[in-house]
Structure 1
Amino acid sequence: MLGGSPCQNLTITVADREEHFTGLAGDKSKLFFEYVRALKTVKPRYFLYENVESMKEKDKETITENLGVEPIMIDSGLLSAQERKRYYWTNIPNVKQPNERHQVLADILEEKVDEKYYYNLNYDFYGLHKRVAAKLDLYNYDILQRVYSPHFKAPTLTACRGGHKQKKVIHNDRVRKLTPLEYERLQTVPEGYTKGVADSHRYNMLGDGWTVDVIAHILSYADFSTSKGVPEAAI
């Protein structure tokens, strides 16, 4: 059984908005307890639950107590060109950290990109030797103005509900947003997997999703060769 309940009330990105930073008591993140209910009902042989690394310690402890196993923190940056620290709670035994692939944005960028992804705005250039290589003249929000160097990893992808929230990069001496295909590559999703819906939906699905190769790495430790019952930690 695989799952990950909404992180909107858990993530540090809403720490400055106390009405949202309500942890597992929040309207969205409390769905974790539905995962627990389903787990006790289904009693699968193996389970995997994922959520953000930036949650409060008390919420981490509550999840651990309910699932009966300690989490392992894996950064997607080990297997992709995106930094994405996540906790994974699983009763699959002996899961280790994956070997690093040493990828950066330059390794996943499309060479030919439609003009619609480019910005024709002024920007302050700091140099490609810095992770935040430039600041785009866009609104007043620092996180929307950040333009990343292709020589570093992308920051954590998020859903893009609202304008200009896609991660940005300097490419061929111009500033542009990352494309949906590049989001797929950063999440190690098969290329074109989200094709067929509007770009906005592709960004949201991928930002809310999992890094596939991390999940595959964890599942590689599972043994399905016998028919043992569910371990006690799962119930």
Structure 2
Amino acid sequence: MIYLSLFNGISAGRLALSRAGINFNKYYIAEIDKFANKVSEFHYPDNIQLDDVNNWREWDIDWSSVGLVTAGFPCQSWSLAGKQLGDKDERGKLFWVTLDIMSHVLDKNPHAKFMLENVKMKKEFEEYITLHTENALGKVFKTLINSALVSAQNRNRYYWTNFPVSQPSDKGLLLKDVIVDDYISDRDKSYCIDANYSKGANPSQYFNKSRRQLVFGGAVRGRYIVDGIRQDHKMKTVGMTTQRLEVREDGKTNTLTTVQKDNVVVIYQRPRGKNKGAEFTEKSPTLTACSWEENNKLSYRKLTPTECARLQTFPDGWCEDVVSNSQSYKAYGNAWTVDVIKHIFECMERHNNARRDKNNVRFDNDVIRQSGAAI
């Protein structure tokens, strides 16, 4: 059987299949990013490259042997962070190409399984994609999964499948579990900033009192604040915004993107001589530079490529051992969280096994009836 990966990226799908213990005879991939392809070729030289999905009708492939087809179709036109043009954007139109390919697969092999993935989007878009996927492919299961369950990253994604998918178990991972320790204490790699705004935090919930450092996820973003209240979504603020550090309160990171300042490691260096944990109580102030500016110990740095790999549950060095750091950041930001996909594929396998067991029972009953009739 064949696995067909559309918008393959850095082969998160094949890695997830391997972790789930599922094997295919051939692996076909469609990807036009040359750096992503370089990473995939390094790890899986037997991948068969198909190139651009727009040329799918020219592909030399045994469509009746495709057992699984997956697609993380481009999200820029659907995302709340973009212009939200949907399929009026050229990238958004690739949704329809995806449906055409998957429909062709199911026509040739009705037992094939599919999975589409995209960002958490406004309800109108989510319902639009669900409706047209059902119209094209039949019964669809839509599942929203946050990578935070299997990773230290807050990353909500929709998955559309033709098999039921449950929620993965919560592994309880936090940013501090994936940090490269050498980079926490290296002050040369951190930069103090003046930040007056954040979303708040309660450090006592997850601060390890045996250490002198708190580690938080955060982002550096342009905000226009008046009396502590954001105004940039209400008015034109060109030239009025200030770059501010926003710190998460849950020990996770923000969603990895291709923009490095969307995700930073925030480090609070606890001053020596303080009573252990005394300054971190249930009444601790909001975590901003101003809150502890007297200590001048709040700093931030960008994530390392290795930390990005861990947040996406890839092995260390998956990209950065093959391509530049800048291309690694981009690749990880565009990739799937591998262990989420592993869980989905395990759900697929359980569904397939249940279907096979049901068919076996039906076959056995038919044999018994035929035997009885012959007697």
Secondary structure in structure 1 of the residue aligned to 2:157? strand
Task: Give % identity.
Answer: 32
| Residues 16-40 of structure 1: CA deviation (Å, up to 9, x unaligned) | xxxx221122221221111101111
Q: Is 1:204 aligned with 2:330?
A: yes
Structure 1, unaligned stretches of length 5 or more?
Answer: 15-19, 229-235
Structure 2 contact 217–263 (Cα < 8 Å) conserved: no
Q: What is the letter of the counterpart of residue 115 of structure 2?
A: L
Q: Which has the higher contact order (CA 8 A, sep 6+)?
A: 1
Q: Which residue of 2 aligns with 1:46?
A: 113
2:254 pairs with 1:155: yes
Amino acid in structure 1 at the alignment position of 2:332: L
Aligned to 1:146, the other structure's residue is in SS state: strand
Moved more, 107-116 or 59-68: 107-116
Shift of 1:129: 3.3
Please say which of residues 190-199 and 111-120 is displaced more in the overlay. Answer: 111-120
Distance 1:10 1:189, change over 3 A: same
C-alpha contact (below 8 Å) 1:123/1:134 kept by paired residues: no
Number of paired residues? 216
Q: Which moved more, 1:118-127 or 1:193-202?
A: 118-127
Aligned partner of residue 89 in structure 1, secondary structure: strand
Deviation for aligned residue 1:191: 1.3
**SS of corresponding position for 1:41:** helix
State how far apart, in whole Å, the 2-side matches of 1:65 and 1:135 are. 36
Paired AA for residue 47 in structure 1: F
- Tell me the equivalent position of 1:87: 158
In structure 2, what is the equivalent of residue 123 of structure 1? Answer: 194
RMSD: 3.3
Larger Rg: 2
* Contact 1:3–1:50 (Cα < 8 Å) also in 2: yes
Change beyond 3 A, Cα 1:97–1:66: same
How many Å separate the matches in 2 of 1:205 and 1:116? 28
**Structure 2 CA distance, aligned partners of 1:225 and 1:134?**
40
| C-alpha contact 1:36 1:67 (8 A) present in aligned 2 | yes
- Whether the 8 Å CA contact 1:150–1:170 is kept in 2: the answer is no
Is the CA contact 1:124–1:135 (under 8 Å) kept in the aligned structure 2? no
Task: With the length of structure 1 as denominator, give the TM-score of the two structures.
Answer: 0.79
Q: Is it true that 1:6 corresponds to 2:74 in the alignment?
A: yes
Superposed displacement of residue 134, structure 1: 9.8
CA distance in 2 between counterparts of 1:171 and 1:120 reads 10
**Aligned twin of 2:100:** 37
Which of 100, 109, 117 is matched with 2:179 structurally? 109
Unaligned 5+ residue runs, structure 2?
1-68, 135-139, 207-214, 224-241, 270-298, 357-375
**2 CA distance for matches of 1:189 and 1:35?**
26
Structure 2: distance between partners of 1:183 and 1:7? 19
Q: TM-score when scaled to structure 2?
A: 0.51
Relative to structure 1, is the Cα distance of residues 129 and 226 closer, same or farther in structure 2, using a 3 angstrom cutoff? Answer: closer
Residue identity matched to 1:48: M
How far is the alpha carbon of 1:146 from its aligned partner?
2.6
